[in-house]
Structure 1
């Protein structure tokens, strides 16, 4: 079996690292395809060193800001890849525009499609990613969900139970694998941070970033 793992952005590598290790251990033929360029500045060497994984086998070379244009470019480039490389299954990750593009092309080529972290929903159709999620899950032959909520969402939308596999949060596999290698960040000493006197949170939604001042006032 030849499996293609498609990733569209830096965070996806954190989720596919455990899958790649499992495939290597099982002797499964696979290729890692990245939507972007080989010289993408966000893919510094330390990313792959930290995850203890190899760099992508194939770079599609897509680089543009407009999501609709990006979707079209990924579809064209990934279609060429599938035509040139025998593939039995494509695994797509998360809910990016590039992920949706790869999913559409995969099904048009008659290839089995698997979606990692399926069933994630905000129930806000105004979010572009929510549209991506609905399209990808609707096309997928295999839906790998992180928990009961994801599985329930997929079921409510008509997915057959035989297609849904509740595999848990794969990020935990990456954390466990690297736990013994964790190093205390230097910034904690620089800022004189001690246990239980700070909060760490991330912002990755435009709506949240626009409300940063309000969030700061709530925290302070």
Structure 2
């Protein structure tokens, strides 16, 4: 019996593990010798992450919640490692499976390897080259001690090869976030804001901003917001915003009749808005993937990306963090000159099946 402990700690992780859990359950129903234990580190707690979110994505209640959220990066890392080590001692497993690039990914990988447990990294090998991003450090450290690497792109494969990883440990399987997106797309839910604002398809923009480089530098944030507002004609701007970011925006006096700051939305509600939007303005890597697959123009307010395939084959354009770049990007959008999605290899909704099949092959 292959016993896998699956780690999730923040909202993007749950989107990535949902289809893996489903694929394991299918394999179990077919008589395959595989089982899992789900551990929530508690890195992030969000009311949208509990109850309805788990239900929406078909995720079972975690077998354990380490409740290790809060504190600085170092405090959070330490709390997760201490509590996860104890979890592994009490509930031994053959493999620890981590996804993505959050603090939990790195911390649980280290704790597992210290106990000589195999580490499998899903979404391995992606790099932004920007060490000012905590996520980049998490990726690099996790991949430095990973045993089996499951990748989303050929570029990720190449990054791992350059780091000296043997070919037989690199498995190009695709993107589990896209598994979830394609499975849930028929079930997207119209959020309350749709009716409240009388929104119409392709007649509004969706915004998300959360990276410190954008929201913590108040002058830059104000300039970015002013440029976005001034260059989006008469279209509503829907901005699901974290309370912390909302407070900064309010302190800066940023408001406009077309700017609608709303509470964070559930997965099904948020993607309903994205699918029908004229465009998305974001600094999130995951959203660039989802927008690309739904063929929605996406502007990324970052100077680098760890997901270049969304630019080469998707709808994502790296606008940067200079407010002066907003106007040209919006002009391009409104001139109907935006790139269309092409076929992104392996982003077909079957990634999780390939992962589970490969795990059974490796560890049988």
Q: Same fold (TM over 0.5)?
A: yes
TM-score, normalised by the number of residues in structure 2 = 0.57
Q: 2:132 is matched with which residue: 126, 136, 139?
A: 126
TM-score, normalised by the number of residues in structure 1 = 0.91
Q: Structure 1 residues 37 and 139, CA, compared in 2 at 3 Å: closer, same or farther?
A: closer
Query: Which residue matches 2:275?
Result: none
Deviations 1:86-136 (A, max 9, x none): 200101121122221110111111111011111121101222221111100
Asked whether 1:22 is paired with 2:31, we answer: no
Shift of 1:53: 1.8
- SS of aligned partner of 1:131: helix
Shift of 1:200: 2.1
Pick the structure with greater CA Rg.
Answer: 2
Deviations 1:10-69 (A, max 9, x none): 221111000000001111210000111898645321111111221111111213221111
Asked whether 1:186 is paired with 2:192, we answer: yes
5 Å matches for 1:64-213? 64-209=70-215, 210=217, 211-213=220-222
- Contact conserved, 2:43 with 2:104, CA < 8 A, in 1? no
Shift of 1:186: 3.2
5 Å matches for 1:43-62? 43-62=49-68
Q: Structure 1 residues 150 and 215, CA, compared in 2 at 3 Å: closer, same or farther?
A: farther
- Contact conserved, 2:10 with 2:44, CA < 8 A, in 1? no
Q: What is the distance in 2 between the residues matched to 1:76 and 1:15?
A: 24
- Contact conserved, 1:138 with 1:159, CA < 8 A, in 2? no
Alignment gaps of 5+ in structure 1:
none
Structure 1 vs Structure 2 CA RMSD: 2.0
Q: 1:32 is matched with which residue: 32, 38, 51?
A: 38
- Contact conserved, 1:119 with 1:154, CA < 8 A, in 2? yes
The farther-off stretch of 15-24 and 54-63 is 54-63
The farther-off stretch of 33-42 and 70-79 is 33-42
Alignment gaps of 5+ in structure 2:
29-33, 232-364
Q: What is the distance in 2 between the residues matched to 1:11 and 1:145?
A: 16
Q: What is the distance in 2 between the residues matched to 1:149 and 1:37?
A: 29
